[in-house]
Chains A and B, each alone.
Chain A
Amino acid sequence: MKGRDLLRLAYGGFRGHRLRTLLSVLGVSAGIAAVVVLTSLGSAARDYITREFLSLGTNLLIVLPGKTETTGMVPVIGGVPHELTLEDAEYLERNLRSVKRMTPVVLGSARARHRNRARNVTVVGTSETFREVNGLTVARGIFLPRRVARKHEPVCVLGATVARELFGRENPLNQFVRVGGFRFRVIGVTAPRGMMLGADLDEMIEVPTRSAMKLFNRRGLFRLLIELKNEEAIPFVRRDVARLIKERHEGEEDITVFTQDALLATFGKILDAVTAALSAIAAISLAVAGIGIMNVMLVAVSERRNEIGLMKALGATRNQVTALFLTEAALLGGFGGAAGILFGTAACRVFTRIYPDFPVSPPLWAVAAAAFVALGVGAFFGGYPARKAARLDPVAALRSRG
């Protein structure tokens, strides 16, 4: 039997059973649409996180004060025996090799005021590197020069939202902003960047690290970003950082060093768990759809016993009968898959329209996989009915009504 004839005969089997066929196709399409939407969401989330982290630069070590037991996981900061100080950072910079640049970061919130306008802002004590690793661009003026990080210098850079809300249409450059008890001269404004790992970069004010420490009356750093010259240096520098800090902290290794990979892995694990849960939901809906196909095919086999007997009398082999009913089931799956891919893609469009910051579109592999799964579900759940048809005794089948 030729493939095209097989398809034609199988397709003909749906004639006269429009509603039944449509319903089982709808069942499959719901399952496949779920697969498409869920895989798209998962892959969009992964893309989003990878994108955010990539801008951190690949050869990045992040040093946090405090020791956590979990290896590689993002630490929950608890009691800190020794703070990580600016002096620690300077000591590291003097003694480490392969370091491209080092950025101490201090974080806090404060009220910023310009004349009669005020708002709460996140103050970041940092330097030029912060701009680079966060992919910020300067819209006006300059960013914090590297040299000012270690000194107190009352200059600041405004996030786009802060600049707009405090200055309106005025040019903020060289004007003063009062943050906490200090006056800072505005030397730059960053271009809108939006959310990054849950924080809105446009609502921040960047000041030199030392100034932020003064502002918040703090000795310890929030974290220390160390960018290395090459990836190979990561394990060595990591070890050296631990050793050098131990020297300065009276023999205690009370810091945590983690890499971008570890961060990614942490998010990856969370994503994997979410993906597994979503996949289970999709699998259940596909199984339900498959059982629908099986039911429809069993009805078709018992309705067409006579025809099956006839086919055998006309020279059809068992394999041909099996192939015919399998093809019918796979077609149900295939049509369901096509409809499901359309529905799923449409749902992704709607989602993207509602949340434009989080664009979701079905990746090509997901579409291909969905189509494959749809056909597979049809063939798998059509298997039993098809074998049942092939095993029918032709004489008994021909004697039956219908």
Chain B
Amino acid sequence: MIRLENISRTFFVGGRPVHALRKVSFSIAEGEYVTIMGASGSGKSTLLNILGCLDRPNAGRYFLDGREVGGMKDEELAAVRGHKIGFVFQAFHLVPRLTALENVELPMVFAGAERGARRRAAQKALETVGLADRAEHRPNQLSGGERQRVAIARSIVMKPAILLADEPTGNLDSRTGLEVIALLEKLNTSGMTLVIVTHDPKLGSRAPHLIRLSDGRVIEDVFPKGAVTAKRSINRAGERADENVAD
């Protein structure tokens, strides 16, 4: 489902190049649960932004469902971001003037969905994250954990195939953070491909697939619990989801 080939991303700061990613290659199959780890500044966010089609690499090729992203125009990229990918950010990024429900509806607004369908889908997403009773609250009336759950509801309202979370627990205390991770894992169990960026080793050890970055390079791409390598070779969506549930 996701395949990177020698992806490089270089920023120029004051004329001097900063190599955020250097020839990164790996694959992620449908339904996987992947953690990307690495020290601060190792390129994790840059990598996730490229995976989410928010940023473009300077070199290398990125295939999403077999299609190369590099050749897509703005409209197509927007459609991919809207329909195929759900984002969860460390800083939540909720729109403060909108209610929880309206925030969750936002991706469907851009997709041009009808008001009724939008309301129902958003309500359902809020139920999934356990916040159905907070629909009319504004972000500043919610706790940090609740805000992140609203953000997760927003990320899944379009029923995307892939969930990308950049340090989703970074602004939360450890107990709330664990709840959020558990919620994301539950969504993975129900079939969504999940990619979490974190520098917390405890969280990192939960995922079957671990990619470790250092200074823009992949230094580790492993399946610590074994067996998964075999699963990867099967590479069939239905079975993968089932096996994840079985874990």
Interface membership of A310, Cβ < 8 A = yes
A15 to B98, CA, bound (A): 10
Question: What sequence of 0s and 1s flags, for each residue 235-277 of chain A, a beta carbon within 8 Å of any chain B beta carbon?
Answer: 0000000000000000000000000000000000000000000
Chain B residue at minimal CB-CB distance from A397:
B54
Is A354 close to B, CB under 8 A? no
CB of A118 to closest CB in B, whole Å: 79
A5/B109 contact (C-beta < 8 A), A312-B54, A394-B54 known: yes
Does A320 touch B at the CB level, under 8 Å?
yes
- Check B78 for interface membership: any CB of A closer than 8 A: yes
Interfacial chain B residues near A309, Cβ < 8 Å: 93
Pairwise interchain contact A398-B93, C-beta atoms closer than 8 A: yes
Q: Is the CB of A395 within 8 A of B74?
A: no
Q: Which A residues are CB-close (under 8 A) to B93?
A: 306, 309-310, 313, 398
Residue of B nearest to A306 (CB): B93
User: Which of A1, A12, A310, A313 is within 8 Å of B52, CB to CB?
Assistant: A313
Q: Are B95 and A310 in contact (CB-based, < 8 A)?
A: yes
Return the CB mask of B105-131 against A: 1 if under 8 Å, else 0: 011011110110000000000000000
Q: Which residues of B contact A110 (CB under 8 A)?
A: none
Residue of A nearest to B74 (CB): A318
With an 8 A cutoff between CB atoms, is A2 at the interface?
yes
Given contacts A15-B97, A398-B93, contact A314 B106 (CB under 8 A): yes
CB-based contact B107/A315 at 8 Å? yes
Bound form: Cα–Cα A138–B162 in Å: 92
A307: chain B residues at CB < 8 Å are: 95
Contact check, B74 vs A315: say whether CB atoms are below 8 A apart: no
- Residues of B78-93 contacting chain A, CB below 8 A: 78-79, 81-83, 87, 89, 93
- A9 interfacial by beta-carbon distance below 8 Å: yes
Judge whether B154 and A314 touch: CB under 8 Å.
yes
Minimum C-beta distance from B107 to chain A (A): 4
Task: Assess A311 versus B110: contact at CB under 8 Å? Given A12-B98, A15-B97.
Answer: yes
Q: Which residue of A lies closest to B49 (CB)?
A: A395
Partner of B109, one of A1, A306, A313, A394: A1
Chain A residue, CB-CB nearest to B81: A315
User: Quick one: closest B residue to A316, CB to CB?
Assistant: B110
Near B by CB (< 8 A), chain A positions 165-182 give: none
Secondary structure at the A interface, as helix, strand, loop or mixed, is: helix
What residues of A have a CB within 8 angstroms of the CB of B114 in the complex? 2
Closest to B54 in A: A394
Q: How far is the CA of A395 from the CA of B77 in the complex (A)?
A: 14
Tally of B interface residues using CB under 8 Å: 27
A78 contacts across to B, CB distance below 8 A: none
Q: Quick one: closest B residue to A324, CB to CB? A: B110
| Total CB contacts across the A-B interface at under 8 A | 66
Given A1-B109, A2-B112, A395-B55: A315 and B78 interface contact (C-beta under 8 Å): yes
* Residue numbers in B under 8 Å from A312 (CB-CB): 54, 78, 81
State how many angstroms separate the Cβ of A21 from the closest Cβ of chain B.
13
- Chain A: interface residue total (CB-CB under 8 A): 25
B82 / chain A contacts, CB cutoff of 8 Å: 314-316
| Complex: chain A residue closest to B93, CB-CB | A310
Please tell me if A352 contacts chain B, counting CB pairs below 8 Å.
no
A198 adjacent to chain B (CB < 8 Å): no
Q: Is A16 an interface residue (CB 8 A)?
A: yes
Known: A307-B95, A398-B93. A313 touches B110 (CB 8 A): no
Given contacts A2-B112, A398-B93, whether A315 and B49 have CB atoms under 8 Å apart is no
User: Within 8 Å CB of B95, what residues of A?
Assistant: 307, 310
Q: Is A120 an interface residue (CB 8 A)?
A: no
Q: Which of A2, A5, A315, A318 interacts with B83 by CB under 8 Å?
A: A315
For the complex, is A230 an interface residue (Cβ under 8 Å from B)? Answer: no
Contacts of A398 in B (CB 8 A): 54, 89, 93
Question: Is the Cβ of A315 less than 8 Å from the Cβ of B54?
Answer: no
Q: Is B97 touching A12 in the complex (CB atoms < 8 A)?
A: yes
Nearest chain B residue, comparing its CB with the CB of A307: B95
A395 to B87: give the CA distance in the assembly, Å: 12
Is B247 interfacial (CB 8 A cutoff)?
no
Query: In the complex, what distance in Å separates the CA atom of A16 from the CA atom of B138?
Result: 14
A137 contacts chain B at the CB level, 8 A cutoff: no
* Nearest-CB residue, chain B, relative to A304: B95
Tell me the nearest residue of chain A to B155, going by C-beta. A314
Nearest B-chain residue to A14, judged by Cβ: B97
Verify B109–A9 contact, CB threshold 8 A.
yes
Q: Is B158 an interface residue (CB 8 A)?
A: yes
* In contact, B74 and A314 (Cβ under 8 angstroms): no
Compute how far the CA of A171 lies from the CA of B87 in the bound complex, rounded to whole angstroms.
Answer: 96
B97 touches A16 (CB 8 A): yes
Check A317 against B78 for contact (C-beta < 8 Å).
yes
B110 touches A314 (CB 8 A): yes
Does B75 have its Cβ within 8 Å of any Cβ on chain A? yes
CA distance A312 to B79 in the complex (A): 10
Q: Which residues of B contact A318 (CB under 8 A)?
A: 74, 78
Given the known inter-chain contacts A12-B98, A395-B54, A398-B89, please indicate yes or no for A315 contacting B112, CB distance below 8 A.
Answer: no
Query: 12 A-B Cβ contacts within 8 A?
Result: A1-B109, A2-B112, A5-B115, A12-B97, A12-B98, A310-B95, A312-B81, A313-B81, A313-B93, A314-B106, A314-B107, A395-B49
Given contacts A315-B78, A315-B82, 15 further A-B contacts (CB under 8 A): A2-B112, A12-B98, A16-B97, A307-B95, A310-B93, A311-B106, A313-B87, A313-B93, A314-B106, A315-B83, A315-B107, A317-B75, A319-B75, A393-B55, A395-B54
**Residues of A in contact with B (beta carbons under 8 Å apart):** 1-2, 5, 9, 12, 15-16, 306-307, 309-320, 393-395, 398
- Residues of B at under 8 Å CB distance from A? 49, 52, 54-55, 74-75, 78-79, 81-83, 87, 89, 93, 95, 97-98, 106-107, 109-112, 114-115, 154, 158
Closest 8 interchain pairs by CB?
A: A315-B82, A317-B78, A314-B107, A316-B110, A310-B93, A15-B97, A315-B110, A394-B54
